[in-house]
Amino acid sequence: MELYEKLVNKEEKLSLVGLGYVGMPIAVAFAKKIDVIGFDLNAHKIDLYKSGVDPTNEVGNDVISKTSVDFTSDETRLKEAKFHIVAVPTPVNDDHTPDLTPVEGASRILGRNLTKGSIVVFESTVYPGVTEDVCVPILEKESGLKCGVDFKIGYSPERINPGDKVHRLETITKIVSGMDEETLDCVAKVYELVVEAGVHRAESIKVAEAAKVIENSQRDINIAFMNELSIIFNKMGIDTKSVLEAAGTKWNFLNFRPGLVGGHCIGVDPYYLTYKAEMLGYHSQIILSGRRINDDMGKYCAENCVKNIIAANKPVKGANVAILGFTFKENCPDTRNTKIIDIVNELHEYGIDPVIVDPQADADEAKRLYGIEFVDFEEIKDMDAVIVAVAHEEFSGITMNRIDKLFGPGEKILLDLKGILNRKEYEAAGYRYWRL
């Protein structure tokens, strides 16, 4: 009986290594069909899951409290599973080179507990070749087993969009790959248990790795183009959003908008691709140009805040500035790799210590990673400038009357980075309004 059938008949188990914004929803989805062991090194996170709390808000407390996932921080429990999915983050270092530490660490843990007949599928975003050239040797060394003989490998890049309740694991076509046809068939069948949209069978592991890394590189380049247009149109005194709305009436105009590019995918994946390209002697031109533009947008926004403060005849040093939103995207608690911190740091350079409100953010994480402490919305008053930085649902429907109460005397400066407010209404009310 093949592994797929044993999983379906609950004679074998599936393990999920890494239970963050990507891994946990995968584990929960599979647990509806087969037996799942959910492993994470973070014992506190495991305790939260066991107590029915979802710190990621991806599936919610109700779903977590009812799931049959066997949550554990004991790595030896991985020996009970035969089909393993690795979903750990792959960040970049300060010099923008790939940081493979998490995926290498996960490979070592899994290798120590790998048994014969297993299939290991990596979901972490990597440059082409990492699965076979980096992860496999670690698995073999730690397990004493031989890849292709004692265990098989595959790759299926994650496409989960944190905070998105429409594009979910079940509704997005899943790319799958395997080291041989037999492995590919098993991997495809296993994922088809939970992915209603179906799977795409890539012809090799490297093809699947490359497909993932260019998806976000493409988005990054397009957003960089929009950001460059925003810089140009602001110098021309033209509203970028109005230009894009007009251009968007053409059927084949791509619907991208300017903005801060943070998170763990769009702002990271391009560096994995360019790193591998440089290893092969090619220096990226378009991809790295886009990265430079996007990496500088937080500084650009802060500079425009300062320029508006000066234009309003207000002192810059010690100015009262509030930032609404700190997470890397709307309606998501994740603050890791948020570009709002670039705005904060740049404002500090001008002697401005902004207050920050974010009702959705993980406050403990923000404190640990950035030393940021949030304030309640009701505490904001006497501001010189307000920056609406993230389009959380709490902010998208905010009224002008509520915004008015945030300001002190003098001209009101409002930076609407996401363009969620009505520019004409605020300008008519006497606001100094600016947006990307």
Q: What is the dihedral of CA 51, 55, 59, 62, to 10 degrees?
A: 30
- 135 catalytic per annotation: no
Q: How far is CA 216 from CA 115, 254, 299, in A?
A: 35, 15, 22
Which two tokens mark 261? 């590019």
C-alpha 51/C-alpha 371 separation (Å) is: 28
Residue 155 DSSP one-character state = E
Quote the distance between the C-alpha of residue 198 and its chain's center.
23
DSSP string, 46-68: HHHHHTT--TT-SS-HHHHHH--
Give the long-range contacts of residues 396-400, CB within 8 A, separation 24 or more. 396/330, 396/420, 400/425, 400/426, 400/429
Which two tokens mark 9? 């008949």
Q: How far is CA 418 from CA 104, 131, 258, 387, 434, in A?
A: 37, 37, 8, 10, 10
Q: Which amino acid, residue 202?
A: A
Quote the distance between the C-alpha of residue 187 and its chain's center.
25
Set 265, 301, 305, 332: catalytic member: 265
Residues 385, 413: contact at Cβ < 8 Å?
yes
Determine the straight-line distance between the first and last CA of the chain, rounded to whole angstroms: 58
C-alpha 299/C-alpha 343 separation (Å) is: 6
Q: Are strands 413-416 and 70-72 parallel, antiparallel or unpaired?
A: unpaired
Residues 378, 406: contact at Cβ < 8 Å?
no
For the beta carbon of residue 317, count every other beta carbon within 10 angstroms: 8
What are the catalytic residues? Answer: 265
